[in-house]
Chains A and B, each alone.
Chain A
Amino acid sequence: MDVSLLLPLTFLLPLLGTLILSLSCGRLSEPASAFVGVVSVGLAALVTLALSLGFDPGAAARTETLWTWIHVGDFQPTIGLALDGLSLTMLGIITGVGFLIHLFAAWYMRGEEGVTRFFAYMNLFVFSMILLVLGDNLLMLFLGWEGVGLCSYLLIGYYYQHAENGWAAFKAFIVTRIGDVFLAIGLFLIFRELGTLNIARILERAPEVWASGSTTAELAALLLLGGALGKSAQLPLHTWLADAMAGPTPVSALIHAATMVTAGVYLIARLYGVFELAPDVLWLVGLIGAVTLLMAGFAALAQTDIKRILAYSTMSQIGYMFLALGAGAFNAAIFHLMIHAFFKALLFLSAGAVIVSCHHEQDIRRLGGLWRRLPLAYGGFVIGGSALAALPLVTAGFYSKDEILWQALASGHQGFMVAGLVGAFLTSLYTLRLIIGTFHGAMKSDNARNAEPGRGLRHGLPLVVLAILSTFLGAWIHPPLESVLPGSPGEGVEAGQTMLELMASATALSGVAIGAWLFIFRRDWLARQVTRPWGIRLWTLWNAAWGFDAIFDALLVRPYRALMRWLKNDLIDGFFNLLAGIARLLNLVLSKTQTGRVRTYATSMVLGATVIMLVLAFGL
């Protein structure tokens, strides 16, 4: 079939799913809802497969304008799509991994209230995410960008009966929206400067209009970065992601690991031309990535909730992607984005399998010893965890993370590389802690002792496929990015690469070794350290992820609430009401004088006349 027909189908199918589900008004049974939800994304994945089979990586982007969105003067954003290697890669992740997660969700969500609502949101999310990556102009991208944010909000707050879930959703939306403000202003600036919002035209015009390092270019890149930070949960707009784990686990897998949170990486890679003109901001991208990956790595060490560990790990891994972007290795960032989608989806789905099997227990202090009872989830955790820790040669994560470290070194960013290595060590450590805590040792609660393993294709197939993709086999998938993104800084350079590979492998393995030593053999010693004053302090600090929430609470939330309370009764309106009050008071006073007694009236008349006479006489 023709591309112009297939391309819109990718997002129309999930949209159709949403429409069927939402217009059914609760008349669909649970299996029927799940069927519609899963099949619509599955078909979209098939369409994507058809697209990728006929894809020519060397050709220019294939564009498809559906209609002109708004046409006023020079302002002519279109509802237009563009398919190139980058969007095809993203499309593959969204529909492929998305389909597997939907399938798993059909197992995970059985018996819950409002499954129709769940799948309607999930399909809407896939629809928006596809628009985000296919949009050929920034306004279309923004449409998808906000759409995924809304779906994220809805799905985090899916279990609405607990108000705190609603607040977690609220926080996620507001914090990312702060980033969106920057993105929006960036759009205004780009349109003013370059006169277009079309991405291809922007990349063409930017070098003509802006000199490299010019203030405007830096400003534009900085504003775009602001948007990316919010969506991708990087410092300082990262605080929402850990709380976002309130949503059902498949949601965390799809939105908060595999797809939406990587939108920031996609945005920067997509507009690489703007960032290349802003070297300072590009360096800042890498710096933020480096700091975030370390910050989140430490935070992951001190969490007790499986999903929160994975959330901080996601933050940290996206930090790697930002680091790669900052080093100018856009290819490596997208490659890691893809591999991360595989293994992190696997980890989250395995976590979901554990959580459902253990009756919604997700605290690793209350789990343990599950490896025999839940072999599939255990396998998922081991394979996914190895990929996350980038164990050499056999895992996919090794190839993508190694590429990033190598590019950082080759582009002359030794600092980034060192941060990456330290991060890799932390990654091994917290991954091991997670796996040992969940699957080994004694079963620490009844929920763990009574674990019921998941069964069936909907449960098994996604785990197995993702596990395969997380091994070195996944690393064989080669995103066709050559014609889209510029070459990497380390291309053609060989010296030092083997050395670095060895170093990275050693770091990962030593992390595992030290972790095993700490968490298996020196357990009691470790437990004692944590109860000491410095141990408690460190634990509290890392557990609260360095206390950013408290800082924002004091700086922004509380002042805003105080302002809100102060203004609540509308001071300005109060002023005008005061005028009315004075008038009424005067009325009260003056009406007192209307006594109806002739004597009083006569007296006041005489008095008044006297005063007037006096005034006239003396000209006062």
Chain B
Amino acid sequence: MMLPWIILIPFIGGLLCWQADRWGDKAPRWIALITMSLVLLITLVLWLDGDYHLPTLTVDSGAVRWAIEWRRAWIPRFGIDVHLALDGLSLVLIALTGFLGTLAVVCSWKEISHRVGFFHLNLLWILGGVIGVFLAIDLFLFFFFWEMMLVPMYFLIALWGHSGSEGRTRIRAAIKFFIYTQASGLLMLVSILGLVFAHHAATGVYSFSYGDLLNTRLSPELAFWLMMGFFIAFAVKLPVVPLHGWLPDAHAQAPTAGSVDLAGILLKTAAYGMLRFALPLFPDASALFAPVAMALGLVGIVYGAILACGQQDIKRLIAYTSISHMGVVLIGIYSGSALALQGVVLLMVAHAFSAAGLFIISGQVYERLYTRDMNRMGGLWGRLGSLPGFSLFFVAASLGMPGTANFAGEFMILFGTFPVAPVTVMIATTGMVLAAIYSLLLMQRVYYGPTRGEVRLGGLDTREFVMMMVVLVLVLLFGLYPQPLLDVTGATMDEIQKLFSVALSHAPATLLTGVVQ
């Protein structure tokens, strides 16, 4: 009974926040904080209590094992259930959602001053939707939550966002975000329906259940196109170049909490979707597609990094670095190596922390300087108290400094992928230089150079300091001892790896030509 509650708590909390608006600004903030802390607490209890070492399974046994499962019929006629399940992977991501949700509430404590209740309703509903995505294993339900996340995010950007220059209004960014994700979501819906019909054709039963659909017999062509539907939907969200256009705008225009959620968890739903659905449902087609996906990952790494260097807006810069980092994740997902897959989980968590840290910092800089334009910064080392120190740390994390979780994740991916695709890894490794360039450019433009103005801008208050410190400690902790995390996700990732590597080994090259013709 725990699972539906994890989803329901943020939704209920959101409604309460909305109504609590009438008692002033403080009430919704506290309610939201308590709500997200509760979610975090529940996941931590589940983490400590549960056993996520799934019994080793042979791939063809077909059974899917979950640590906790919850199922109620919803639309029996079409085999649609409210079917939630938890394993190590989803647990880690939900814990991440709980943590970043709490962080998002805390970091917008002073930033948001109008319609506070409604803001927190949207914030909590996004988080509820995300948790739903991580738990739903009925494909219809999954799609429901997938679309569900978008609407409150749209409002978050459109109502509380910042308008940039050159016609980059927050409304436009919100619409762009919505259209990109909505259009790609529809492709996924088509694929889901196609899969269900194919399953019906083979067995005569309608079912949207993950377990049932997992071993559907599909012709290679059909499998390929269905897989593409899923892939494109996830590729937009990850984002994969060339489908990334919404991300920089959305980030630049979103309020800090929105950026934190966007970079920290919304992007991770895409990687989760690939790991949970695109690979296991279509292992053969995915194996065929792997080289293309890896190439796209490479393009993302390089393209994102180069564009990041050219940005003036600090948040746009960070947004493009996300694209670059997600390129590495994409390569890891399609490598079919257990080490790389574990690295993917670690890098996702690490990137969530480091990107959140950087976005919070840019929010804090904004609150002090009222600009996000790096041309108007410079020489800030001595004027911001301990903020430069934290910036330095998160910049170091984003450039993959050993000791941070980002390094551990990235290098696990590269170590794991190297035996499979050495050339890909070699090119991906040059991303280390590119990452250094954009990261240090950020430092250079914001902190070096002559001081402009004598006024000390005020360091961090206790709330900001504690918030940054917690994230910093977590990045270091997972960087130097990621084992607790890896142990929890180990069994799940092993299963995905086995499924995928079997497909990789017997995927005849001719199939691809069959698809192309």
| B is bound to A | yes
Residues of A within 8 A of B (CB): 22, 25-26, 67-73, 75, 79, 113-114, 139, 142-143, 145-147, 150, 153-154, 157, 160-163, 165-167, 169-170, 173-174, 177-178, 180-181, 184-185, 187-189, 191-192, 560, 563-565, 567-568, 570, 572-573, 575-577, 580
Is A79 in contact with B339, judged by CB distance below 8 angstroms? no
What residues on A are CB-neighbors of B436 within 8 Å?
173-174, 177
What residues on B are CB-neighbors of A75 within 8 Å?
339, 412, 415-416
Is A573 in contact with B429, judged by CB distance below 8 angstroms? no
Other-chain residue from A69, A72, A165, A189 in contact with B448 (beta carbon distance below 8 A): A165
B101 on the interface (CB 8 Å rule)? no
- Bound-state Cα–Cα, A616 to B389, Å: 75
Taken residue by residue from 378 to 389, chain B's Cβ proximity to chain A (1 for < 8 Å, 0 otherwise) reads as: 110110011001
Is A174 in contact with B448, judged by CB distance below 8 angstroms? no
- Bound-state Cα–Cα, A142 to B338, Å: 23
Known: A181-B433, A572-B245. A160 touches B448 (CB 8 A): yes
Is A113 in contact with B382, judged by CB distance below 8 angstroms? yes
What residues on A are CB-neighbors of B310 within 8 Å?
564-565, 567-568
17 contacts between A and B (CB under 8 A): A69-B481, A142-B402, A147-B401, A160-B381, A160-B449, A161-B450, A161-B451, A162-B450, A163-B378, A173-B440, A177-B433, A180-B432, A188-B422, A564-B310, A567-B303, A572-B244, A572-B245
Residue of A nearest to B346 (CB): A70
- Bound-state Cα–Cα, A157 to B444, Å: 9
Is B444 in contact with A163, judged by CB distance below 8 angstroms? yes
- Binding stretch for chain A, among B195-203, B283-291, B482-490: B482-490
**Min CB distance, A563 to chain B, in Å?**
6
- Bound-state Cα–Cα, A142 to B407, Å: 11
**Min CB distance, A247 to chain B, in Å?**
13
Other-chain residue from A145, A184, A575, A577 in contact with B432 (beta carbon distance below 8 A): A184
Q: A560-B306, A572-B244 are in contact. List 16 more A-B contacts (CB 8 A).
A: A69-B408, A72-B490, A114-B382, A139-B402, A142-B402, A150-B396, A160-B379, A160-B447, A161-B379, A166-B443, A167-B444, A173-B436, A181-B430, A184-B432, A185-B426, A575-B242
Q: Top 8 closest A-B pairs, CB basis?
A: A166-B448, A568-B310, A573-B245, A143-B402, A163-B449, A188-B418, A572-B242, A564-B310
- What is the interface of chain A mostly: helix, strand, loop, or mixed? helix
Residue of A nearest to B337 (CB): A73
B34 on the interface (CB 8 Å rule)? no
Is A70 in contact with B482, judged by CB distance below 8 angstroms? yes
Other-chain residue from A67, A154, A189, A575 in contact with B481 (beta carbon distance below 8 A): A67
- Bound-state Cα–Cα, A560 to B342, Å: 34
Known: A25-B385, A572-B242, A572-B244. A146 touches B402 (CB 8 A): yes
What residues on B are CB-neighbors of A563 within 8 Å?
306
Determine the interface band of chain B, counting residues with CB < 8 A from chain A.
Answer: 35 or more
Taken residue by residue from 266 to 310, chain B's Cβ proximity to chain A (1 for < 8 Å, 0 otherwise) reads as: 000000000000000000000000000000000000010011011
B13 on the interface (CB 8 Å rule)? no
Known: A72-B490, A165-B448. A570 touches B248 (CB 8 A): yes
Is A568 in contact with B307, judged by CB distance below 8 angstroms? yes
What residues on A are CB-neighbors of B329 within 8 Å?
none
B414 on the interface (CB 8 Å rule)? yes
- Bound-state Cα–Cα, A187 to B425, Å: 12
Residues of B within 8 A of A (CB): 176, 241-242, 244-245, 248, 303, 306-307, 309-311, 338-339, 342, 378-379, 381-382, 385-386, 389, 392, 396, 401-403, 407-408, 411-412, 414-416, 418-419, 422, 425-426, 429-430, 432-433, 436-437, 440-441, 443-444, 447-451, 459, 480-483, 486, 490
Residue of B nearest to A187 (CB): B415
Is B483 in contact with A185, judged by CB distance below 8 angstroms? no
Is B307 in contact with A567, judged by CB distance below 8 angstroms? yes
Is A72 in contact with B412, judged by CB distance below 8 angstroms? yes
Is B402 in contact with A161, judged by CB distance below 8 angstroms? no
Residue of A nearest to B493 (CB): A72
What residues on A are CB-neighbors of B447 within 8 Å?
160, 166
- What is the interface of chain B mostly: helix, strand, loop, or mixed? helix
What residues on B are CB-neighbors of A160 within 8 Å?
379, 381-382, 447-449
Is B429 in contact with A181, judged by CB distance below 8 angstroms? yes
- Bound-state Cα–Cα, A139 to B418, Å: 16
Other-chain residue from B244, B440, B490 in contact with A573 (beta carbon distance below 8 A): B244
**Min CB distance, A550 to chain B, in Å?**
20
Q: Which of A139, A147, A181, A564 has the most CB of B within 10 A?
A: A564
Residue of B nearest to A163 (CB): B449
**Min CB distance, B335 to chain A, in Å?**
12
Is A157 in contact with B402, judged by CB distance below 8 angstroms? no
Other-chain residue from A71, A174, A180, A560 in contact with B486 (beta carbon distance below 8 A): A71
Known: A69-B481, A181-B430. A188 touches B448 (CB 8 A): no
**Min CB distance, B126 to chain A, in Å?**
24
Other-chain residue from A143, A169, A576 in contact with B245 (beta carbon distance below 8 A): A576
**Min CB distance, B299 to chain A, in Å?**
10
- Bound-state Cα–Cα, A321 to B126, Å: 60
Residue of A nearest to B435 (CB): A177
- Bound-state Cα–Cα, A498 to B255, Å: 76
**Min CB distance, B327 to chain A, in Å?**
14
Residue of B nearest to A179 (CB): B433
Is B483 in contact with A70, judged by CB distance below 8 angstroms? yes
- Bound-state Cα–Cα, A67 to B311, Å: 41
**Min CB distance, A602 to chain B, in Å?**
36
Is A572 in contact with B241, judged by CB distance below 8 angstroms? yes
Is B306 in contact with A564, judged by CB distance below 8 angstroms? yes
Known: A67-B481, A72-B486. A185 touches B448 (CB 8 A): no
Is A174 in contact with B440, judged by CB distance below 8 angstroms? yes
Q: Which of B401, B415, B422 has the most CB of A within 10 A?
A: B415
Known: A157-B448, A184-B414, A188-B425. A71 touches B483 (CB 8 A): yes
Q: Which of A142, A147, A178, A572 has the most CB of B within 10 A?
A: A572
- Bound-state Cα–Cα, A529 to B52, Å: 79
Residue of A nearest to B242 (CB): A572
Known: A161-B450, A163-B450, A572-B241. A147 touches B402 (CB 8 A): yes
Known: A161-B379, A177-B436. A73 touches B403 (CB 8 A): no
**Min CB distance, B423 to chain A, in Å?**
11
Known: A153-B440, A161-B379, A174-B440. A564 touches B339 (CB 8 A): no
- Bound-state Cα–Cα, A177 to B459, Å: 32
What residues on B are CB-neighbors of A163 within 8 Å?
378, 444, 448-450
Is B401 in contact with A25, judged by CB distance below 8 angstroms? no
Residue of B nearest to A572 (CB): B242
What residues on B are CB-neighbors of A145 within 8 Å?
402
**Min CB distance, B429 to chain A, in Å?**
5
- Bound-state Cα–Cα, A70 to B414, Å: 14
- Bound-state Cα–Cα, A457 to B221, Å: 81
What residues on A are CB-neighbors of B244 within 8 Å?
572-573
What residues on B are CB-neighbors of A572 within 8 Å?
241-242, 244-245, 303
Residue of A nearest to B338 (CB): A73
**Min CB distance, A544 to chain B, in Å?**
24
What residues on A are CB-neighbors of B342 within 8 Å?
72
Other-chain residue from A68, A165, A174 in contact with B437 (beta carbon distance below 8 A): A174
**Min CB distance, B30 to chain A, in Å?**
28
Residue of A nearest to B180 (CB): A576
Is B401 in contact with A146, judged by CB distance below 8 angstroms? yes
Residue of A nearest to B441 (CB): A170
- Bound-state Cα–Cα, A147 to B459, Å: 27
**Min CB distance, B247 to chain A, in Å?**
9
